Structure 1
């Protein structure tokens, strides 16, 4: 037998040793659970693009219609319309990011690093500013109804401009994280990803917690408390008057509060649960079934919140008589066959001279 064969047999003897050389002090008794979330990703790829495209179309049509009616029939420098214009622009900014995310969910991120950062920032700036402008409009209604005399002097164009600038600044500061952390990287399984990357996982986890708690406290709990307080105060004020349309105004307030609460609460509860889960166990620990359940819930509730965010200008304007009249006039002008089925108030729709408490609902 040659020396090379002897060496080969010696190697096999060493390779096939049956004794265990493992140092038991380094053995981890707990099983490491890897949640691949393939079903969740398939669900997202199948349904999320459809919802995003629907939200984009509804937002474009609805906000475009509100913008056109304000331009054609309303004064552009009133406090109410300044807030409404900013709300429309914030929703258009938010909706402009949705086609990019829809395409991303269908395959991979194909738009490059710069657009990854820009689209992510536009997405959150529009989302956050939309919530704050809705809250600001509610507060403005509160001033106009509950403190009508005192607010008459302060509710000027400068007040609306300063408040709008403050909202945009808060939204931009809250979205800086996306501009810094969002990057494009290549996943072996899913291709190009536009996600937070480039920093240690512990740092990423802390920033995710900041985002979740920021979303829940600053962009849900605080606005909800303000909306509830303002509309309860408005309701009490209206009930103390003798206005003829008291019941209609109360119903409108109830619809606004109920819709706001229904659309926003489930999404933000899921956000809070996710933050609590990460705080308690870490994102990679815990039950895979619990994590997947939260992912499914996040997909569904987030789209409900986004849909409300996209159509809120339409919702807030066309519940009022004045904008209903504007819309009827617009339809009758462009579709003559509808003219005989529509009646218009003899009062000029440009007038804002009503002084009754329910005038805030005549936008």
Structure 2
């Protein structure tokens, strides 16, 4: 929630409550931003939390059902999104009133929030890069290497969270308890963490996504394999989704950094940036439930498995014959024959059995 989301300091409630001098030598009142946040953010965080739990838990259940579909990076992506989701109820209460959970909870929630935020984006980027690696060189996609990569990404996210964890604290401000970054005179750290969010949370994952998309596109152009064209669709879909969700938020964080550097100083512009960070942050946070949905919808193999579980035996045979027809004429003939035997036995009367704020304001 904006209150704490922007790397927990970026968007702390001090910015909502503060009266900052403007170029007109008058107080820069930001009550509009705070009132909007109090009305909108609790509802948004609550709804996002519910949708995230439904989609991510459903994907985990699908991984349990279909062992052949389990992949390390998507599973870790889901874990990161759920870790991030666990903090949303705290931010919802905080946005509605004040921080009522105590000082230790402030640091713990910030830890889960920031690690989940960084790791989710990094896992998305590496998940798509792994698609190219699996396609180009199977030797580089061993289970041991994947486990090492996952451990590295978690460690990197934890290290990136260290500054947030150091500065964040619960204290009283103008009669209210807040949980936010407290820099005292170390304002350079505020700027550093904003740019860290832009680089590590957006630029690096986006570059990996674009790089992987270009490589897979080149591979698909050289071959007519249907499987590779499906991989391209998955990679392109995630790249577009990531850019749409995170570019507006990263741009507003950059503008906030310019404000910290006094490049932007007008009161009206500052108020608009406060409102913009709330809106773009909400768009970015939709990733917690859109990531698993996109993974299922853009992954045809995954979708066929789920659809097959919910279909009848006749539909399963038809689906199997259609899917294999594009890959192997011989397999298609065998399955059509099996379907004919099934239909014949059914016509003879045999019974066949039938069978889902940065701390909100993270920068």
TM interval, shorter chain, is: 0.7 to 0.9
Quick one: distance in 2 between partners of 1:216 and 1:51?
Answer: 23
Other-structure match for 1:291:
270
- 311-320 vs 81-90, greater mean Cα deviation: 311-320
Q: 1:47 aligned to 2:35? A: no
TM-score of the superposition, structure 1-length normalised?
Answer: 0.77
Stretches of structure 2 lacking an aligned partner (at least 5 in a row): 1-22, 328-363
Deviation per residue, 1:48-102 (Å, 9 max, x gap): 11111111111100000010110111248x6xx1111111110000000001000
Other-structure match for 1:275:
257
- SS of the aligned residue for 1:242 comes to coil
Higher relative contact order (CA 8 A, sep 6+): 2
Other-structure match for 1:24:
none
Quick one: distance in 1 between partners of 2:273 and 2:161?
Answer: 23
Quick one: distance in 1 between partners of 2:220 and 2:237?
Answer: 16
TM-score of the superposition, structure 2-length normalised?
Answer: 0.77
Matches within 5 A, 1:16-165: 32-75=25-68, 81-145=71-135, 147=136, 151-165=137-151
- SS of the aligned residue for 2:27 comes to coil
Stretches of structure 1 lacking an aligned partner (at least 5 in a row): 1-29, 333-338, 355-363
Deviation per residue, 1:85-137 (Å, 9 max, x gap): 11111000000000100010001111000111100111010000000000110
Other-structure match for 1:225:
207
Q: 1:193 aligned to 2:167? A: no
- SS of the aligned residue for 2:172 comes to strand
**Contact map agreement 2:202 2:250 (CA 8 A) in 1:** yes
Quick one: distance in 2 between partners of 1:310 and 1:244?
Answer: 28
Other-structure match for 1:178:
164
- SS of the aligned residue for 1:175 comes to helix
Deviation per residue, 1:199-241 (Å, 9 max, x gap): 52x21x2221111100111221122112111101101111211
- Shift, 1:252, TM fit: 4.3
- Shift, 1:33, TM fit: 4.0
Q: Aligned-pair RMSD on alpha carbons?
A: 2.7
Q: 1:346 aligned to 2:320? A: yes
Larger radius of gyration: 1
Quick one: distance in 2 between partners of 1:134 and 1:100?
Answer: 25
Sort the Cα spacing of 1:185 and 1:218 in 2 relative to 1 into closer, same or farther, 3 A: same
- Shift, 1:346, TM fit: 3.1
Quick one: distance in 2 between partners of 1:327 and 1:280?
Answer: 54
**Contact map agreement 1:216 1:268 (CA 8 A) in 2:** yes
Deviation per residue, 1:270-304 (Å, 9 max, x gap): 111111221135xxx82111111111111111111
Sort the Cα spacing of 1:193 and 1:309 in 2 relative to 1 into closer, same or farther, 3 A: same
- Shift, 1:316, TM fit: 1.6
Equivalenced residue count is 303
Quick one: distance in 2 between partners of 1:163 and 1:73?
Answer: 23
